[in-house]
Structure 1
Amino acid sequence: MARHNLGTVVRFEFFRTITKRRFWVATLFVPVVLIVVFSLVFVSNNSREQSEAAQKDAHFSFEYTDASGVVLPSVVESFGGTLAPSTEAGVAAVKAGTLDAFFAYPAEPASQKIRVFGADIGVFNNGEYSSVAQSILQTSAAERLGSPELTQIAAGDLTTNTVTFSNGNVSGGFNGVLPPLVFLAIFYAVILLLGNQMLSATLEEKENRVTEMILTTINPTSLILGKIVSLLFIGIVQMAVFALPFVLGYLFFRSQLNIPNLDLAALTFDPQQMIVGALILLGGFALFTGTLVALGAAMPTVKDAGPIYGALMILIFVPFYTISLIISDPTALIVQIFTFFPYSAPVTALLRNAFGTLPLWQAIVIIAELWILAALVLRLAVRLFRYGSIEYSRKISIRDALRPTRQPVKQPVTSRELPPVTRT
């Protein structure tokens, strides 16, 4: 019967939630906004590319003077420019409107600024004067070097290939950090998306005054477990909907949206890190879910539960204030406190696990701590829900809920205790 009730609760809670209009409004709001933003970026990039192409094709008349001796006349001619008689003459021609632009190259271009004068063609289009002036100087300098290799070195267009080792084996570097960090992203997404639903999972029945009727047909443990499992399924639906715009943008509009190409073959998947990350994620999810469900069972309204809910949400962001210490000095006292404190442990431990600074023995301790505490909190949530089923106006005392209930022992009724019989 318990299994039947558990399945019934999961199906009921899941379909009751996903069939509500407000659920899809809240779930689709972010993807729709992302699609609109991506569309605007796509249109803007196309407009910018067309503008850049038009600027490349556009030609304007210009003259120059060169006090450095670096600029080559042949390069200037390829850009359509000529040498000016003097700086004063070039500036005067621009002012008179007979010349579009004039460039005055200083004696030391590396430390002095190039003076550019031009006709105003718009705030965003005036930049093409400086671009052409710089291109002429850079092209001239490259041709004077006379070597493509030296030109590349001078331009700083260099690449490196770094190989690092850990315990005698090649480490994955940043490619080894990304896969375990996915668990941290999933944890934040689930908690932030489902936090309110976790809190209202039991509060809704109390506010509707139907908990007494529910408990007459369903075991409290099956009810709480069913709500938690349904929340997990709802979270999977929401994450899939949220991820859809990113997947579509990466697959079909990667170049238009300037999304870097991700080489999945280069990623390094360490089995220990992936297993530890999955266990910490599930343990942290169970702990926060059980805590929020217990909070909802103990409070009469969402308003009363709000302050504690806010404090729990703050706890998952506090470790980011020490992220530099978590990465660079994981043995620091504050990092150790955040690592083993249950409600900051999921974030801190997942970060340390991704960057390879979480020893296996600490990972085992944290996983055991999260799972054991989650089981205890779940039992507390069941007890609070059962105890507070008829408390609709006040907070439930945890001490009273944990106090063992004793049924009064019925004493046999003696003849002395019988009421006197009166005859009429």
Structure 2
Amino acid sequence: MYNLGTVLKFEVFRALKKPTFWAAIFAIPLIYGVIFGFSAISNAQTRENQEKLAKETFSFDIQDESSMISKDIITGMKGNVSKNKAASIAKVKDQKIDAFYFIPKDLVHEKVEIYAKNVNINENAKYSAVLKSILKNSSAKATSANQLVLINETYKTEQTIFKNGQKYEQIYEMIAPGIFLFVFYFITVFLSNRMLTSTTEEKENRVTEIILTSISARTLILGKIISIIVLGIVQILTLLLTGVVMLFLISNVGDLAKNINLPDLSTILPNIRWEFGAIAISAIILIAGFMMVTGFIVALGAMMPTAQEASNYFGMIIMTLMAPLFVLPSFFVNEPNEIVIFLSYFPLTSPISLLLRNMLGTLSFSEALVGILLLIIFAIVAIWLAVRIFRFGTIAYGSKINLKSIFSKKKIA
């Protein structure tokens, strides 16, 4: 214990002298502040959007079996009273009206039925918003039991959307592109640590010089990046194979699906829409995004002398990468706002943002093309940086690499 004070003093002051120590202290709260700021703006825009949806006017029929909705409210919202449920549903299918509401006699035990024309994932919410406004304004005329349901907003609704005269459920279009979003998140989380340590292990073990006697720095770093990509592919295939096997077992082993509260997969799987365009866009975004992230994290590892010091910045990269998930409501607005556009084209946030928008069906072809081109450019730049930094930093022990020196030097000895 004689030298405990000396060791303590050395370790504390060594950490305090490192800019990375202070950068980590201020950078993480700053990133959180930016994310929460985006989240606050996103929530405000979502509330504003919901208020606009509730005030929207569109053509609709309403059949009121409860006899509690005032005709003045219906006509004031440019609706029509219906006495034929089947005929009104047919009008929605034929796109003669936008929506049809069926109000049951007993709101306590029966559901309010909504039949509507498909617009998009965001604007389809206007049908429920307008219904809520109608029922709220009608609560004064309700019977006692129904009035309690309306005041507490505990009534149940069932909404059916039609597209081109057919029943339409967008969730089945979202599943295939959504798989790519899940896969990107999964392999990034599980391989990120390997990306970081792939270039610091040799530096910490002091074996870089030995390795470079038989192989060039460029070949070594490219081999590391490609190996990480291969490992990512292995993880993707393993994950998909495991998922298929589990789905098969759950679907074929008695009442296992019911016992673990899973939906009936036999009705879901056949309805999944495998659209080539959406799948191709997601696949390209996944590959380019993963290469970009790998390049940036490998470059970070090559720049820092140890994995421990690199981890100070590593957390910032991962937080920035996942930032779109903190402002998820912003992606459900009808038109992409400034936050969504920024996140879609900013290097580290673009993969998840583009995959998310493609899954939701709000990513146009032109936006997808621009986003993919930028991702490919970012990936090339990231890999080039990783190679460049590794070439000049491979034998720099005990100190991080100065970016200025990397761009000023032309050739390493």
TM-score bracket relative to the smaller structure: 0.5 to 0.7
The Cα offsets for residues 127-147 of structure 1, whole Å up to 9 and x where unpaired, read as xxxxxxxxxxxxxxxxxxxxx
Matched residues in 1 for 2:247 and 2:212: separation?
49
> Offset at 1:181?
0.8
Name which of 205, 214, 235 aligns with 2:202. Answer: 205
Matched residues in 1 for 2:260 and 2:241: separation?
16
Matched, 1:300 2:305: yes
Tell me if the contact between 1:176 and 1:267 (Cα under 8 Å) persists in the aligned partners.
yes
> Offset at 1:407?
9.2
Tell me which residue corresponds to 1:335: 340
CA separation of 1:196 and 1:244: change in aligned 2, threshold 3 A: same
Name which of 185, 192, 195 aligns with 1:195. Answer: 192
The Cα offsets for residues 165-202 of structure 1, whole Å up to 9 and x where unpaired, read as 5xx99866111011101111010001000000000011
> Offset at 1:372?
1.2
Tell me which residue corresponds to 1:257: 260
Secondary structure of the corresponding residue to residue 199 of structure 2: helix
Matched, 1:266 2:271: yes
Matched, 1:224 2:221: yes
The structure number with the bigger radius of gyration is 1
Matched residues in 1 for 2:224 and 2:301: separation?
12
Matched, 1:310 2:315: yes
Matched residues in 1 for 2:297 and 2:187: separation?
13
Tell me if the contact between 2:393 and 2:401 (Cα under 8 Å) persists in the aligned partners.
yes
- Using the size of structure 1 for normalisation, the TM-score is 0.55
Matched residues in 2 for 1:204 and 1:357: separation?
43
Matched, 1:401 2:388: no
Unmatched tracts of structure 2, length 5 or more: 1-107, 110-154, 250-255
What is the aligned-residue identity percentage? 35
- AA matched with 1:286: M
Tell me if the contact between 1:338 and 1:344 (Cα under 8 Å) persists in the aligned partners.
yes
Tell me which residue corresponds to 2:161: 162
Tell me which residue corresponds to 2:31: none
Matched residues in 2 for 1:407 and 1:210: separation?
18
The Cα offsets for residues 11-57 of structure 1, whole Å up to 9 and x where unpaired, read as xxxxxxxxxxxxxxxxxxxxxxxxxxxxxxxxxxxxxxxxxxxxxxx
Tell me if the contact between 1:250 and 1:259 (Cα under 8 Å) persists in the aligned partners.
no
Tell me if the contact between 2:180 and 2:286 (Cα under 8 Å) persists in the aligned partners.
yes
Tell me which residue corresponds to 1:290: 295
Matched residues in 1 for 2:156 and 2:196: separation?
54
CA separation of 1:169 and 1:227: change in aligned 2, threshold 3 A: farther
Tell me if the contact between 2:292 and 2:375 (Cα under 8 Å) persists in the aligned partners.
yes
Matched, 1:181 2:178: yes
Tell me if the contact between 2:222 and 2:387 (Cα under 8 Å) persists in the aligned partners.
no
Tell me if the contact between 2:296 and 2:382 (Cα under 8 Å) persists in the aligned partners.
yes
CA separation of 1:269 and 1:296: change in aligned 2, threshold 3 A: same
CA separation of 1:259 and 1:332: change in aligned 2, threshold 3 A: same
Matched residues in 2 for 1:320 and 1:369: separation?
21
Secondary structure of the corresponding residue to residue 198 of structure 2: helix
Tell me if the contact between 2:392 and 2:412 (Cα under 8 Å) persists in the aligned partners.
no
- Using the size of structure 2 for normalisation, the TM-score is 0.56
Q: How does 1:18-417 map to 2 (within 5 A)?
A: 162-165=161-164, 173-239=170-236, 246-252=243-249, 253-262=256-265, 263-405=268-410
> Offset at 1:273?
1.0
> Offset at 1:254?
2.5
Secondary structure of the corresponding residue to residue 257 of structure 2: coil
> Offset at 1:244?
6.4
- AA matched with 1:308: Y
Tell me if the contact between 2:195 and 2:294 (Cα under 8 Å) persists in the aligned partners.
yes
Tell me if the contact between 1:330 and 1:352 (Cα under 8 Å) persists in the aligned partners.
no
Unmatched tracts of structure 1, length 5 or more: 1-109, 112-155, 409-424
- AA matched with 1:268: R
- AA matched with 1:203: T
Secondary structure of the corresponding residue to residue 378 of structure 2: helix
> Offset at 1:236?
3.7
Q: How many pairs align?
A: 253
Tell me if the contact between 1:172 and 1:267 (Cα under 8 Å) persists in the aligned partners.
no
Query: Could you tell which deviates more after superposition, 223-232 or 233-242?
Result: 233-242
